[in-house]
Structure 1
Amino acid sequence: MQVFGSSGTRGVANEELTPAFVLRVAKAAGTAWGADRVAIARDTRYTGRMLADAAASGLASTGTDIDRLGIVPTPGAQAYAEREGVPVIVITASHNPPQYNGVKLVGRDGIELAVSDLESIEEVLLTEAFDVAPWDETGRVREVESTAQAYVDELLAAADRETIADADLTVALDPGHGAGSLTSPEFFRDLGCRVVTVNGQPDGQFPGRDPEPVPGNLEELGQLVRATDADIGIAHDGDADRAIFFDENGEYVEGDAALAALAAAELEAGDTTVSAVNVSQRLVDVVTEIGADLELTPIGSTNIITRIEELEANGKRVPIAGEGNGGIFFPSFRLSRDGAFTAARFLELVAERPVSEIVAPYDGYANVRHNIEYESTAERDAMLDAAANHAQSSDAELNTRDGYRLDHGDAWVLARPSGTEPLVRIYAEARDEDRAKELADELYETLDEAKREA
């Protein structure tokens, strides 16, 4: 696909991702869907309203009526799609920096579109074979104000409220000024938790921290956990489809460790789980111990969703899936990543024992990650060629499902281009931190040299 990557299309707003481009994407979606109604939602980003207006204009020009949902977490927009039976265009760049925005397309079943559906819309976009309605049949717009509350109500109905409330937990919450600011504080309070927040005001310029919930952006959350004697810290990204945790001591919990702990609680022998090619050994170990199966896909929610659907169509049970970045699926609830619901499932575990004890079996793994920016296709291609040459000269087992993953037995390292940003990402994991750092640094130096020579 030329336009839609592993999780929609994104770019710097008003430079790469312009209103004119979003209008064309909406016209293509409206044409391909042929729906009477389509909803539009957005996160808190400063450019969100501008781009949502452009999307509304594009849809209306094809004769499609529009439900304007306003600011709502992406999983809340997906819940609306499933409840109302209408597709949704979500204006969000998820975890990307504030200057970015993006477009994510959701089907009438509440599930992100499969690759084949995205390709159909992309074909309309690239050929500009748009439907054009007569002036008196263009779409009408209506504002829908109840979406966020309806989403919270659905979450409450699906969570184990009694178990969580009986535990009398204190939650330190950092929604990062994103869409979760409008829903997660209420949700956790309604679960019976005491909630304290940082960066809890919706603000599209993200003054407190960048949207990505990584350790360097979450120092204040760790401090808040310690200052308030909270039982857990919870952080979201910009559209709240991810959840990252801190333990009761204010220490960051690796997303891979949280995924492994949740998988251990959900999986049974004979089940299947799905993750991406950068899967942690933590999850591999859990699956092996339980006697379940693990399926790997290229990185990105679209790829994981497609594989889950294929497995379930073949009678496989997939109770949990996802990646170690906090984006986790519980398909029996909804086939969408949902930061608030993931946190609620984790709170059910915390009701029984402290976070540090829950993740203790998954300690002892060291992760190192590097990003290398590029400014041109030539630089990107030079780095990927260097990664290929590096892989071919190695004795490690090579997996090229998405980038270049080298398994050394005691450790692994992966280089792959980002599907949402002009970056080549490097991941490494080992039991020994020096070993992981050695592998990541060696590959980084190789790719960086190739970029400089491009």
Structure 2
Amino acid sequence: MENLISAEVIRTSNIAFGTSGARGLVVDFRPEVCAAFTINFLNIIASAKRVAIGIDNRPSSYEMAQACAAAAQSMGYKVLYFGVTPTPALAFYAMDQQIPAIMITGSHIPFDRNGLKFYRPDGEISKQDEMVILEEELPVTLPDVLPSLAASDDANTLYIQRYLSIIEHNALNGMRIGIYEHSSAGRDIYPQIFGSLGAEVIRIGRSDEFVPIDTEAVSEIDKKRAQEWVAEYKLDALFSTDGDGDRPLLSDENGIWLRGDILGLLCSQHLRIDAVAVPVSCNSSIAEGGFFAHVELTKIGSPYIIETFKQLSNTYNKVAGFEANGGYLLGCDINYGRASIKALPTRDAVLPALVLLISRKHTPIFKQVQALPPRFTASNRLQNFPTEKSHLLLEMFSNQPQAALNFLGMNKAVVVNTNMLDGTRMLLNTKDIVHLRPSGNAPELRCYAESDSMVKAEQLVDLFLKRIHEKM
């Protein structure tokens, strides 16, 4: 491998940054591409000489980790490899040790795709950091044989202790909690956490093949499974995550999955958070319900939420953020349980689930949801929908939203207001909301809808996606 320059390798790779991390097809994540991203990332870290690396359960992740490790070693870094581990576990370890980290994961997207997430010693990289990574021109070198990597369990151990050290060990006594394991990176540590806190854990649905669980577009099969498993195993709740363990799925006592933003809202109430940052795609009742002293609406993606934390912390004591996909970001240290829980400004799946499970000793989860304002959100996606078509559609809605609706054959709907912060979010004359946005991680078009009933919200999503598929 001679005369390869990192920026050129990246530019010709077909790999691009999405809402959180660099994503693309596995065939495009060649060793030199992984190396180029790694070299450019580590070049912006001035002081550290150690780097933490973790992976999810995708078949391609280990070889990508080898290439990242080889590139780091070529720069004089000591590589700490943690094998399969949840993204928040890797991030928490790296922040504790004040070192950078690289997580090899495609999160919820199919196994033929993968990705790289980067963490500075103080947390997730910013959008400005992404631009530097894309533009640095440095030599790329790799050995003829990539290094073998022996995994340490230290990141998983520290992540488990993050919760066991602050929560009473009998907090979940008497509860039967199912863990839908599939291929989640955290499937072997969640039973340890819940079990150590007193729950009876039932492990369900483990898979030897990668399962692309999308917490914003839960399949009908997984909706049905949840209800069946809760009934069959007499569960008080069912817990799962996406592939890299940073987006939670938590069911209520009836096996109904909670929407991620509703989970985040309830968790933030129990933690007595003062100010929250949430993407514009979240349920409108979060901003309009008077639950918090301040709600900051952002673009979709954890980096945009994290960008608001410093500003919010100047005014408010307890700051957090959460997304429609359920990922929970703690923006400052807060007191909870027996001690202070440290900030973790990256998506986490365990904290919101634990907080809700503990709270149900006083009020069942389904009753907590019922007590919220009657605004219901649904979402789904068109997969393998070319990004060019998505941008064309959004341009139509941006220029003439009513004409775009008419083009889709929805002549009875009237656009009252539009929000173009991220995609196109339309308030209709029926007081329903429809939000269209291309995925930042894959060639998909996402549709979010909000209405006064879940049935209507789901019907809106299905109708819009059906019409777009027919017309585009």
Whether TM exceeds 0.5 here: the answer is yes
Aligned to 1:198: 204
Aligned to 1:397: 417
Q: Is the 8 A contact 2:248 2:327 kept in 1?
A: yes
Could you say if the C-alpha distance between residues 180 and 43 of structure 1 is closer, same or farther in structure 2, counting changes exceeding 3 Å? same
Match of 1:387 among 381, 394, 397: 397
The one-letter code matched in structure 2 to 1:403 is G
The one-letter code matched in structure 1 to 2:308 is R
Q: Give matches, 1:47-446, under 5 Å.
A: 47-109=60-122, 111-124=123-136, 128-130=137-139, 143-162=151-170, 164-165=171-172, 167-200=173-206, 203=208, 205-206=209-210, 209-213=211-215, 214-218=218-222, 219-267=224-272, 271-286=274-289, 288=290, 290=291, 292-312=293-313, 314-331=314-331, 332=333, 333=342, 334-362=344-372, 364-374=374-384, 376-391=386-401, 393=403, 395-408=415-428, 410-433=431-454, 435-436=456-457, 439-440=460-461, 443-444=464-465
TM-score of the superposed pair, with normalisation by structure 2:
0.83
* Deviation at residue 231 of structure 1 after TM alignment: 1.0
* Deviation at residue 193 of structure 1 after TM alignment: 0.6
Q: Deviations over 1:15-52 (max 9, x none)?
A: x3333321211121122224311111111111111111
| SS of equivalent to 1:49 | helix
In 2, distance between residues paired with 1:316 and 1:363?
Answer: 25
In 1, distance between residues paired with 2:295 and 2:286?
Answer: 9
In 2, distance between residues paired with 1:67 and 1:396?
Answer: 54
Could you say if the C-alpha distance between residues 325 and 143 of structure 1 is closer, same or farther in structure 2, counting changes exceeding 3 Å? closer
The one-letter code matched in structure 2 to 1:414 is H
* Deviation at residue 102 of structure 1 after TM alignment: 0.7
Aligned to 2:37: 25
Q: Deviations over 1:402-426 (max 9, x none)?
A: 0111123722111111110111211
| SS of equivalent to 1:396 | strand
Q: CA RMSD for the aligned pairs?
A: 2.8
Q: Is the 8 A contact 1:260 1:282 kept in 2?
A: no
| SS of equivalent to 1:371 | strand
| SS of equivalent to 1:252 | coil
Structure that is richer in helix per residue:
1
The one-letter code matched in structure 2 to 1:292 is A
* Deviation at residue 143 of structure 1 after TM alignment: 4.8
The runs of 5 or more residues in structure 1 that have no matched partner are none
Q: Is the 8 A contact 1:169 1:351 kept in 2?
A: no
Q: Is the 8 A contact 1:308 1:318 kept in 2?
A: no
Could you say if the C-alpha distance between residues 155 and 217 of structure 1 is closer, same or farther in structure 2, counting changes exceeding 3 Å? farther
Q: Is the 8 A contact 1:176 1:237 kept in 2?
A: no
- Identical-pair percentage: 26
Q: Deviations over 1:216-266 (max 9, x none)?
A: 352333322111211111111111112111122222323233223223323
Could you say if the C-alpha distance between residues 160 and 414 of structure 1 is closer, same or farther in structure 2, counting changes exceeding 3 Å? farther
The one-letter code matched in structure 2 to 1:241 is D
Q: Is the 8 A contact 1:159 1:344 kept in 2?
A: no
TM-score of the superposed pair, with normalisation by structure 1:
0.87
Q: Deviations over 1:340-393 (max 9, x none)?
A: 222111112122222211211137434332423456454233222233245265
